[in-house]
Amino acid sequence: MTDKKTREIAELGEFGLIEHLTHDLNLKQKSTIKGIGDDAAVLNYGNTSIVLTTDLLLEGIHFNLIYTPLKHLGYKAVVVNLSDVYAMNAIPKQITVSIGVSSKFSVNHLEELYEGIKLACEKYNVDLVGGDTSTSLTGLVISITAIGEANKENITYRCNAKKNDIVCVTGNLGAAYMGLQLLEREKNVFTSINDMQPNLEGYEYILQRQLKPEARKDVIELFKELQIVPTAMIDISDGLSSEILHICNKSGVGCKIFQDKIPIDLNTQKMAKEFNFEPIIAALNGGEDYELLFTIDVADFDKIKNQPLIHPVGHITTKEHGAVLISESGHTIELQAQGWNPLRNKKSEE
Amino acid sequence: MTDKKTREIAELGEFGLIEHLTHDLNLKQKSTIKGIGDDAAVLNYGNTSIVLTTDLLLEGIHFNLIYTPLKHLGYKAVVVNLSDVYAMNAIPKQITVSIGVSSKFSVNHLEELYEGIKLACEKYNVDLVGGDTSTSLTGLVISITAIGEANKENITYRCNAKKNDIVCVTGNLGAAYMGLQLLEREKNVFTSINDMQPNLEGYEYILQRQLKPEARKDVIELFKELQIVPTAMIDISDGLSSEILHICNKSGVGCKIFQDKIPIDLNTQKMAKEFNFEPIIAALNGGEDYELLFTIDVADFDKIKNQPLIHPVGHITTKEHGAVLISESGHTIELQAQGWNPLRNKKSEE
């Protein structure tokens, strides 16, 4: 096989590759409302819409066992799937978990992993209803599928943002990415043969955002309470730039995002400074925040303007205006998808 | 990590391990009807029952790319999941497909794999509605989830077989296992540097059963036509012994299976003879037949007795009588689960 061919996969990228392989699919089932192309598929069964999403996590690509406690990994593996369900404005109800384990794993290791999985099920009130366990010749493989439920009229896609809608994000951005940078820097200490422990004191917040993230159940509950249905929504797993471009592309609109409105935690800023790194880059292009990015009709602005969880960061424009960031100095910068590409990047260099 | 710990996982086996890790689960969702412990989970949404099943296929464990064409592999990966849906007496409607690919894969390779996936979707009339694509540091990883639909009263579990029920299997058994033995024998020829081709002429049937199996859509349709709802059902992925023991254990019954009733194709017998291997062992302990094993009330016997797809092989007894095979010579032999254990066995020795 030539290098050229190998490169093709990485150059297509995850979304390009899926599009390339599945563009000719016909959806034939009456129950299929939405197939590939959103955070989750949407199926109608009876009078209910269910959403279905799946994620594959591979050792060395999505996680590095050198610095990832198995319990946290199990927890995170569930949370990243639930985040996709919430991003459809649905409530997760069930998950299945399939695991492939290499021979270096003992029953104790699996117990730790499952402890995290069960903790997440408990916290987010979902049932673990099935799965599969197998040997893996090599690394740890975790595949989780989540099912959620919503009223048809509440399902929120990526494709219905419209001109003048307010663009909002929840929580803060870039922390998980800075947590990853810290763990990568301290990796050598983790693997050293003497008993040195990495000094992670004072970095708890960004480490937690990387190792044990939470999904935005609270925000979906808040929407219900405030009687808001966003016009479009996506979860921020690949950085704000990449995600707002998904919404703009699917909705056929542009957007104007203001740098000074993007919420970045002080801990993230401090860590970025230590690394001589612009925190805004972590927010725009870092991954794994699992916050929600959504758009709402301007008529709903009053409902969210004093909500501490929600930060308006810009508005939707027309397609011709492109998707742009207005920098703190007032410059207009075109947003580009430089998010984490699982077909190119690795979490491990071993 | 000690050898002792490593052994523990293999000794628990797939079902023991899942039981060990999940025995303390509480199912809390109203929509969860059946969790872990059958071919698929059963969820109630609206007035419909949906079934949910997932399978993880790993290179070197579940398939060997030396002799498995990618198109066949894609097809088979879908079919094994659909087989689990049919085993609940449900009709598959949607699947998701997650793939992890190593750098030796090109876009062309993925196209071949997806050609098989799409062909199976076409043939079995299911929609491919989602998935995930990622780099894998090592081998090819395929994780498929299938969703199916059924009326509540038609869902068939493993746990409701009762004394005097007739035990039936579909099609014939052991062919896929003999196909695998042939491929393993010819493996060296596949990998030799000269242009020798393995001589597979005359073995097409068993090879197809191994490389491109079908799921028993026709039998589920026949049940509907004959107005039969089996009392218990399971698909035969790990050999007849292992599967009938699942039904007996879950139903709290015993069974008597007659060796001379077990359907074994002439091609399977011929191949077994060449290998000096008892064909009955392939039927009892070989895997991957993807036929259905089910029990019906004696009152339904007349409906199936002349159906060429269906073979009565014995009947259900009480638990005290155990699960036994009556050999051709009239001996009573206790059935043992020696099916393919994915936590111990490998398809590849490379």
pLDDT at A9: 78
Determine the distance in angstroms separating the CA of B193 from the nearest CA of chain A, rounded to an integer. Answer: 16
Residue A3 near chain B (CB below 8 Å) = no
> Cβ separation of A344 and B100 shorter than 8 Å?
no
φ and ψ at residue A5, rounded to 5 degrees: -65, -40
> Cβ separation of A96 and B60 shorter than 8 Å?
no
pLDDT tens digit sequence for A10-33: 777 777 888 888 888 889 999 999
**Mutating which of B17, B26, B54 best tests the A interface, going by the most A Cβ atoms within 10 A?**
B54
Mean pLDDT of chain A: 90
Statement: residue A129 has pLDDT above 70: yes
Contact in structure between A115 and A121 (CB atoms under 8 Å): no
Q: Can you tell me whether residue A280 is helix, strand or coil? A: helix
- What span, in angstroms and rounded, lies between the C-alpha atoms of B58 and B139? 7
Residue B23 near chain A (CB below 8 Å) = no
Record the tokens describing residue B100, joined without a space.
Answer: 């992890």
- What span, in angstroms and rounded, lies between the C-alpha atoms of A190 and A183? 9
Residue A107 near chain B (CB below 8 Å) = yes
> Cβ separation of A134 and B58 shorter than 8 Å?
yes
Q: What are the respective helix, strand and coil percentages of chain A, to the nearest 5?
A: 40, 25, 35
Statement: residue B170 has pLDDT above 90: yes
At a CB cut-off of 8 Å and minimum separation 6, what does B202 contact?
Answer: none
Residue B85 near chain A (CB below 8 Å) = no
DSSP-derived pairing of the beta strands B91-101 and B127-135 = parallel
pLDDT tens digit sequence for B59-101: 999 999 999 999 999 999 999 999 999 999 999 999 999 999 9
Taking CA atoms, A333 is separated from A295, A323, A344, B337, in Å, by 21, 9, 25, 65
Residue B149 near chain A (CB below 8 Å) = yes
Q: Can you tell me whether residue A114 is helix, strand or coil? A: helix
Residue A77 near chain B (CB below 8 Å) = no
**Which among A111, A121, A136 is the nearest to B61, CB-wise?**
A136
> Cβ separation of B149 and A45 shorter than 8 Å?
yes
> Cβ separation of A118 and B25 shorter than 8 Å?
yes
**Which among B14, B98, B126 is the nearest to A54, CB-wise?**
B98
Could you give the residue ranges of the DSSP H alpha helices within A139-193?
Answer: 175-191
The whole-model pTM stands at 0.92
Statement: residue B253 has pLDDT above 80: yes
**Mutating which of A7, A21, A112 best tests the B interface, going by the most B Cβ atoms within 10 A?**
A21
Statement: residue A3 has pLDDT above 80: no
Measured between beta carbons, the chain B residues lying within 8 angstroms of A31 are 93-94, 149
Q: Which of B98, B168, B214 has its CA nearest to residue B315? A: B168
Beta bridge partners of A326: A258, A332
Measured between beta carbons, the chain B residues lying within 8 angstroms of A32 are 93-94, 127, 129
- Residue in this structure with the two tokens 């995930």, named with its chain if needed: B132
Q: Domain A3-154 has what CATH class?
A: alpha beta
Record the tokens describing residue A344, joined without a space.
Answer: 């190119």
Burial class (CB in 10 A: 0-12, 13-18, 19+), A200: middle
pLDDT (average), residues A167-195: 87
Measured between beta carbons, the chain A residues lying within 8 angstroms of B137 are 58-61, 138-139, 346, 348
**Which among B55, B94, B135 is the nearest to A41, CB-wise?**
B94
φ and ψ at residue A278, rounded to 5 degrees: -75, 120
Determine the distance in angstroms separating the CA of B265 from the nearest CA of chain A, rounded to an integer. Answer: 30
Statement: residue A44 has pLDDT above 50: yes
Task: Compare all CA atoms of chain A with the CA of B5 and give the residue at the minimum distance.
Answer: A106
Q: Cα-atom radius of gyration of chain B, to the nearest Å?
A: 20
Q: Which range among A88-92, A190-194, B313-317 shows the weakest confidence by mean pLDDT?
A: A190-194
Return the number of other C-beta atoms located less than 10 Å from residue A180's C-beta: 23
**Which among B5, B35, B114 is the nearest to A21, CB-wise?**
B114
**Mutating which of B107, B117, B119 best tests the A interface, going by the most A Cβ atoms within 10 A?**
B107
φ and ψ at residue B228, rounded to 5 degrees: -115, 135
Q: Which range among A283-292, B104-113, B226-235 shows the weakest confidence by mean pLDDT?
A: B104-113
Give chain A's end-to-end CA distance (angstroms, integer): 24
Statement: residue A307 has pLDDT above 50: yes
Statement: residue A6 has pLDDT above 70: no
Contact in structure between A161 and A295 (CB atoms under 8 Å): yes
Most confident of A182-196, B52-66, B162-176, B326-340: B162-176
Q: Which of A246, A220, A252 has its CA nearest to residue A37? A: A246
Is the CA virtual torsion B290, B325, A133, B287 positive or negative?
negative
Beta bridge partners of A295: A167, A232
Q: Looking at residue A345, what DSSP letter applies?
A: -
**Mutating which of B12, B22, B50, B56 best tests the A interface, going by the most A Cβ atoms within 10 A?**
B56
> Cβ separation of B107 and A17 shorter than 8 Å?
yes
Treating both helix axes as pointing N-terminal to C-terminal, what angle do B175-191 and B204-211 enclose, rounded to 10 degrees? 90
Per cent of chain A over pLDDT 70 is 92
pLDDT at A270: 96
pLDDT (average), residues A137-143: 91
pLDDT tens digit sequence for B274-328: 999 999 999 999 999 999 999 999 999 999 999 999 999 999 999 999 999 999 9
Burial class (CB in 10 A: 0-12, 13-18, 19+), B47: exposed
Determine the distance in angstroms separating the CA of B168 from the nearest CA of chain A, rounded to an integer. Answer: 26
Determine the distance in angstroms separating the CA of B52 from the nearest CA of chain A, rounded to an integer. Answer: 8
pLDDT at A47: 75
- What span, in angstroms and rounded, lies between the C-alpha atoms of B247 and B253? 8
Residue A348 near chain B (CB below 8 Å) = yes
Contact in structure between A294 and A157 (CB atoms under 8 Å): no
Could you give the residue ranges of the DSSP H alpha helices within A212-332?
Answer: 217-226, 240-251, 266-274, 279-285, 301-304
Residue A249 near chain B (CB below 8 Å) = no
> Cβ separation of A342 and B134 shorter than 8 Å?
yes
- What span, in angstroms and rounded, lies between the C-alpha atoms of A75 and A154? 27
pLDDT (average), residues A283-309: 96
pLDDT (average), residues B165-172: 98
Measured between beta carbons, the chain A residues lying within 8 angstroms of B88 are none
Q: How confident is the model at residue B200 (pLDDT cuts 50, 70, 90)?
A: confident
> Cβ separation of B130 and A94 shorter than 8 Å?
no
**Which among B105, B121, B143 is the nearest to A98, CB-wise?**
B143
> Cβ separation of A12 and B342 shorter than 8 Å?
no
pLDDT at B37: 87
- What span, in angstroms and rounded, lies between the C-alpha atoms of B25 and A118? 8
Q: Which residue has the higher pLDDT, B162 or B45?
A: B162
Statement: residue A339 has pLDDT above 60: no
Per CATH, the number for A166-334 is 3.90.650.10
The interface residues of chain A toward chain B in range 108-147, judged by CB-CB distance below 8 A, are 108, 110-111, 114, 118, 121, 125-139, 141, 143, 145, 147
pLDDT (average), residues A86-92: 97
Measured between beta carbons, the chain A residues lying within 8 angstroms of B21 are 110-111, 114, 133
φ and ψ at residue A345, rounded to 5 degrees: -90, 160
At a CB cut-off of 8 Å and minimum separation 6, what does B11 contact?
Answer: none
pLDDT at B196: 63
> Cβ separation of B343 and A98 shorter than 8 Å?
no
Measured between beta carbons, the chain B residues lying within 8 angstroms of A59 are 137
pLDDT (average), residues B196-214: 88
Burial class (CB in 10 A: 0-12, 13-18, 19+), B326: middle
Q: Which of A39, A4, A64 has its CA nearest to residue A232? A: A39
- What span, in angstroms and rounded, lies between the C-alpha atoms of A153 and A44? 12
Measured between beta carbons, the chain B residues lying within 8 angstroms of A130 are 35-36, 40-41, 52-54
Record the tokens describing residue A268, joined without a space.
Answer: 């993230």
pLDDT at B349: 38
**Which among B6, B106, B134 is the nearest to A56, CB-wise?**
B134
Give a three-class secondary structure readout of chain B. CCHHHHHHHHHHHHHHHHHHHHCCCCCCCCCEEECCCCCCEEEEECCEEEEEEEEEEEECCCECCCCCCHHHHHHHHHHHHHHHHHCCCCEEEEEEEEEEECCCCCHHHHHHHHHHHHHHHHHHCCEEEEEEEEECCCCCEEEEEEEEEECHHHCCCCCCCCCCCEEEEECCCCHHHHHHHHHHHHHHHHHCCCCCCCCCCCCHHHHHHHHCCCCCHHHHHHHHHHCCCCCEEEEECCCHHHHHHHHHHHHCEEEEEEHHHCCCCHHHHHHHHHCCCCHHHHHHHCCCCCEEEEEECHHHHHHHCCCCCEEEEEEEEEHHHCEEEECCCCCEEECCCCCCCCCCCCCCCC
pLDDT (average), residues A250-262: 98
Q: Can you tell me whether residue A306 is helix, strand or coil? A: coil
Q: What are the structural domain ranges in chain B?
A: 3-154, 166-334
Mean pLDDT of chain B: 90
Statement: residue A148 has pLDDT above 50: yes
Q: Which of A82, A246, A240 has its CA nearest to residue A161? A: A246
- What span, in angstroms and rounded, lies between the C-alpha atoms of B276 and B98? 40
pLDDT at B187: 82
pLDDT at B3: 44
The interface residues of chain B toward chain A in range 38-67, judged by CB-CB distance below 8 A, are 40-41, 43, 45-48, 50, 52-56, 58-62
Task: Compare all CA atoms of chain A with the CA of B4 and give the residue at the minimum distance.
Answer: A106
Statement: residue B197 has pLDDT above 70: no
